[in-house]
Structure 1
């Protein structure tokens, strides 16, 4: 019988377990992704049995890095630090590579707990200070946090510091190895566009790239984004780190994962 040649990606590929096989237990999803050669992303650790996640054998690429708190006011910052430290310890238990933050706490449907339409200069300074504290705490706990960009027009209206330009400005100004960008290209496409040049600008601070097609937030090949072109551009820039599918499957989940892998296999 002819040997089967494994298809290898230039990147480390992961997929968000909460968004696929949604009728299956989370530990089954984690195990199946692992069998298929993917790392695993998680959204909200308190929703799950940690012992079962550990037993799944998964390598966890990223998970939500806080439960409550905000970047840009004193009370919210203190709560964010408390919550993020608690989550950092859970992340270490699971071996999670990166712990994810947003510009503010998100509630039902991904909407901000406190909607903010105008971000003042004082808020920018406070957010930078808070992220500096996060980076110092991450050093103490031996973990890495990421700050994710979000789109405002469709999914997350009223979220402060949501644009990729905003997250880049904050993370680059803190400039600490324990604080990186989670550059979500689905959100960039909806909110800003210019994906390849955004990747280039963010490159020194990227911890993970996340992807889904537009519209629909499904796997590559279902919408308007040329993800094979993005993959070639990222590789040409020298990026070989994690790329995570944070999207739904339009049909069969395994076919969706295969399409994702193909888009990022050079």
Structure 2
């Protein structure tokens, strides 16, 4: 395994825009939920004439699903819009979605700059905080909300290594609570599935890169501020290092996800 300073310097300089995680190839793994969200998204997009993707990041997931739909010969939605609040991601999404005629909008104080009842399909993969009233507003009667949400206590083994125990924060993002909020906004939740998935981090660079990308996990994170924690994690990972640079004792965390399918009740 390469020296500590080399790993954290490399991770501190790497690009973290968008929602691609390819930088972690060979350094970290995460199981995927059994419902195969991108495949589900692709199937729904192939049947929708107007679709909106929320918190699209750099448009990576939406573009992958659109490509799969095109490979099947399915049409692209005639109206394709994505929302993204962070300017670097929005710029990347505009470029990535241009081949499908996609338009990227920026929410204003949480409100989407689109007309009422504009979409038959609203989607999201890991939305920051579902705005249920807005989702209800922009869906047509009978329209579908299809999303994969981050669940409660996700990756908290890693988060709490830096912040200490977070018992109250662990209870957030409860799928039943979110289903109740969706219902209160006028949506009928027709499917709610949950999954717990294993994450493995094999070097300290993967930890630094993840915390730079997912800034809400450890909001005050910097290498200097948490150097002691990072050094301890690095020593733990090196204890099981193999000749190929991987480790037999990775840092293990668990991500939680839930699939939400809801309908606009009209």
Which TM-score applies when normalising by structure 1? 0.29
More strand by share: 2
Which TM-score applies when normalising by structure 2? 0.29
Please identify the structure whose Cα radius of gyration is greater: 2
Highest RCO, 1 vs 2 (Cα 8 Å, sep ≥ 6): 2
